[in-house]
């Protein structure tokens, strides 16, 4: 029997579907040293973001000789040493389509929350404060949305933002074909300087350093907002708080962080930052689609 380890859990319907098809599915998180040992008993490893599949784990799995397939339930594969795994004969794949709309909606939700002070007003009202005059916001309509990276998620945001009356400009290292003519392609510097709302949708840098530094934040308008629902560490968190405290930026929204759970107290306590705990893909619909895609990947791999 083919055994599947879902180390970060799995959609119930998907797990049931796999079991009905004759697979054994175990949902259990293991710390790295334990995972190295346990992978000798599995053919497939399914992870989300909590489990890190690094070289020592890959070496142990390859030495044991059973593991054949690693699946990242989600878009990014930063938590997997993909090239190394593939060089050792393991197949690595992800589910890039499943959560695009969910992440896009969260990013757009954060933009609305920042523009209209929804996050902070919710907190201060529960403290008994009625700060109506303080929370004069801005409209998204007529504003420019700048997208850093123009993959599936960014394209989903762009469609939704356009429906709200926003203008779209973007930058990407690749030429993206088939986009609406009204989307303006520009350099990253041009996007940062001209956008009213900037949303990041790029992988982490290979060296792990921030992609958006104090220098980049200084390029932005003091009335601008920045959103990161992509990867933790893309923005220099302390530089971001500095810019917000000095009124060099109007606001920020973060769903991902350099260290998770969030440990940076400056970020936690900054009232100009809208925070969510890495829930970009956490919708019932997205989890269902991710589960279905995982089932399809496993079925196609073992029943070619």
Q: For 218-244, write each residue's pLDDT tens digit.
A: 999 999 999 999 999 999 999 999 999
List 48, 72, 110, 278, catalytic entry: 278
Distance in angstroms (rounded) separating the CA atoms of residues 99 and 289: 8
231 is catalytic: yes
Using only C-alpha atoms, the chain has a radius of gyration, in whole angstroms, of 21
Distance in angstroms (rounded) separating the CA atoms of residues 138 and 183: 22
pLDDT score for 46: 98
pLDDT > 90? residue 300: yes
Distance in angstroms (rounded) separating the CA atoms of residues 205 and 59: 24
Do residues 59 and 83 make contact, with C-beta atoms less than 8 angstroms apart?
no
pLDDT score for 49: 87
Nearest of 100, 208, 92 to residue 151 by alpha carbon: 100
Distance in angstroms (rounded) separating the CA atoms of residues 187 and 171: 6
Mean of pLDDT over the chain: 96
List 201, 231, 237, 289, catalytic entry: 231
Q: Which two tokens stand for residue 283?
A: 């919708």
Q: Do domains 3-98+283-302 and 100-275 have the same CATH topology?
A: yes
Domain spans, the chain: 3-98+283-302, 100-275
Q: What is the mean pLDDT of residues 132-146?
A: 97
pLDDT > 90? residue 208: no
Fold for the domain defined by 100-275: Rossmann fold (3.40.50)
Fold for the domain defined by 3-98+283-302: Rossmann fold (3.40.50)
How large a percentage of the chain has pLDDT more than 70?
Answer: 100
pLDDT score for 296: 97
List 63, 260, 285, 296, catalytic entry: 260
Q: Which two tokens stand for residue 233?
A: 């560490």
pLDDT > 80? residue 304: no
Distance in angstroms (rounded) separating the CA atoms of residues 287 and 73: 9
220 alpha-carbon distance from chain centroid: 22
Q: Categorize the per-residue pLDDT at 96 as very low, low, confident or very high, splitting at 50, 70 and 90.
A: confident
pLDDT score for 97: 86
131 is catalytic: no
pLDDT score for 218: 98
278 is catalytic: yes
């Amino acid at each position: 029997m083919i055994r599947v380890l879902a180390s970060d859990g799995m959609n119930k319907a998907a797990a049931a579907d796999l079991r009905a098809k004759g697979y054994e599915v175990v949902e259990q998180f293991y710390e790295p040293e334990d995972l190295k040992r346990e992978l000798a008993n599995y053919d497939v490893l399914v992870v989300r973001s909590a489990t890190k599949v690094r070289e020592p784990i890959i070496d142990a799995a390859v030495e044991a000789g059973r593991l054949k397939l690693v699946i990242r339930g989600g878009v990014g594969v930063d938590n997997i040493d993909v090239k190394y795994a593939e060089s050792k004969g393991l197949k690595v794949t992800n589910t890039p389509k499943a959560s695009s709309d969910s992440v896009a909606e969260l990013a757009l939700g954060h933009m609305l929350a920042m523009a209209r002070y929804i996050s902070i007003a919710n907190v201060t009202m529960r403290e008994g404060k009625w700060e109506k005059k303080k929370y004069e916001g801005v409209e998204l309509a007529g504003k420019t949305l700048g997208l850093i990276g123009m993959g599936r998620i960014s394209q989903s945001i762009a469609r939704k933002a356009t429906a709200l009356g926003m203008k779209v400009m973007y930058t990407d290292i690749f030429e993206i074909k088939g986009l609406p003519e009204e989307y303006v392609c520009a350099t990253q510097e041009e996007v940062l300087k001209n956008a009213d709302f900037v949303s990041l949708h790029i992988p982490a840098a290979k060296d792990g350093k921030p992609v958006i530094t104090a220098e980049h934040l200084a390029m932005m308008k003091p009335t601008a907002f920045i959103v990161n629902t992509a990867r933790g560490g893309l923005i220099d968190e302390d530089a971001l708080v500095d810019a917000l405290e000095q009124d060099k930026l109007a606001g920020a929204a973060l769903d991902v962080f350099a260290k998770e759970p969030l440990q940076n107290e400056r970020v936690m306590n900054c009232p100009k930052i809208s925070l969510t705990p890495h829930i970009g893909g956490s919708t019932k619909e997205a989890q269902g689609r991710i589960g279905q895609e995982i089932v399809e990947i496993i079925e196609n791999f073992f029943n070619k």
